[in-house]
Amino acid sequence: MLNYLVKRIFTAVIVILGVSTAVFLLIHVVPGDPIQAMLGETALPGNIEAIRIALGLDLPIHQQWLEFMRGLLRFDLGESLYSRRAVAEIIYERLGPTAVLAFASLVIAMLIAFPLGILAAICKNTIWDSLAMSFSILGVAIPNFWMGPVLILVFSIGLGWLPVSGHESISSLVLPALTLGTALAAILSRMIRSALLEVLNEDYIIAARARGLSTLHILLQHALPNAALPVITVLGMQFGNLLAGAVITETIFSWPGIGQLTIESIQRRDYPVVQACVLLISITYVFINLVTDLCYGMVDPRVRVEQ
């Protein structure tokens, strides 16, 4: 188990370094001048050049990359080119709202996906199965940038039940969490159905039915635990995708999280903040996948033996 952990951590470090380098290079080749964005179109060339030298943006790209990597090794994300504040401080302020949104979206997804997936598996080839799978297809097909405005038109502008945007109360969380949660629920419900259908045909399930156990008891005690491995895989991978989807959703609903900060920083060409945001998302994604792999051993003893 220890060797497995060391290998996984080493792989995670390589992935994070690769993502950091890729983001650094990509954002520096994107058209646009951060100094021009800061000072405006009326700025004098001399002032632009002086600030460029002061911020180290006049250095060759490889030297800027080396400085960026040295900062990462010291856990120093640098300063924002736009606000001159520490990037770590800015990230910390925005991390809480994104974590709340991701957790709420995950809860909504599980509340929707598990009943739908179980119902579709139990009622295979019936109208209930068709309705549940139709929902999953719609959820996968409808993108966040379309679902969000539709929910705003219906529940905010049409019915007036929920606020259009903001972060003032719990009600402001409902629409963005629904936007992210329904897409995850659609994918998760299909996986739950598929995993349960495989398990429900096993001999031990047939034997449990022959002993007169109730359907609910068979599901909770025998079927779901044995069908959990692929579900955990999808859940872990898709939870990482919630952070990527939050970039669009937070912008639509003006949710003050990492996603909205990423878009704002890209528009301002604020290199250090963009690099920190993408780095945070990639680290979270890698960490969640590592935790998912470790959960395999807790759910299925055979995985522990193989490791």
Phi, psi of 92 (to 5 degrees): -60, -40
What is 95-306's CATH number, 3.40.1390.10, 3.40.720.10, 3.10.20.600, 1.10.3720.10? 1.10.3720.10
Instruction: Identify whether the C-beta of residue 192 lies closer than 8 Å to the C-beta of residue 123.
Output: no
Q: What sign results for the dihedral spanned by CA atoms 244, 245, 249, 255?
A: negative
pLDDT at 173 over 80: yes
Question: Which carries the bigger pLDDT value, residue 204 or residue 171?
Answer: 171
Region for residue 56 given its phi and psi (left: phi exceeds 0; alpha: psi -120 to 50; beta: otherwise): left
Q: pTM of the prediction?
A: 0.74
Question: Which carries the bigger pLDDT value, residue 209 or residue 305?
Answer: 209
Burial of 301 (0-12, 13-18, 19+ CB in 10 A): exposed
Predicted local distance difference test score (pLDDT) of residue 295: 66
Domain ranges of the chain: 95-306
Q: Give tens-digit pLDDT for 94-151.
A: 888 888 888 888 888 888 888 888 888 777 778 887 887 787 777 777 777 788 888 8
Instruction: Identify whether the C-beta of residue 216 lies closer than 8 Å to the C-beta of residue 230.
Output: no
Predicted local distance difference test score (pLDDT) of residue 299: 57
pLDDT at 259 over 60: yes
- Distance in angstroms (rounded) separating the CA atoms of residues 28 and 100: 32
Burial 12-40 (b: 16+ CB within 10 A, else e): beeebeebbeebbeebeeeeeebbeebee
pLDDT band at 305 (very low <50, low <70, confident <90, very high): very low
If you average pLDDT over residues 57-85, what whole number do you get? 78
If you average pLDDT over residues 267-276, what whole number do you get? 80
pLDDT at 182 over 70: yes
Instruction: Identify whether the C-beta of residue 183 lies closer than 8 Å to the C-beta of residue 165.
Output: no
48 CB-near residues (< 8 Å, 6+ apart): 33, 35, 36, 39
Region for residue 84 given its phi and psi (left: phi exceeds 0; alpha: psi -120 to 50; beta: otherwise): left
- Distance in angstroms (rounded) separating the CA atoms of residues 133 and 1: 38
pLDDT at 186 over 60: yes
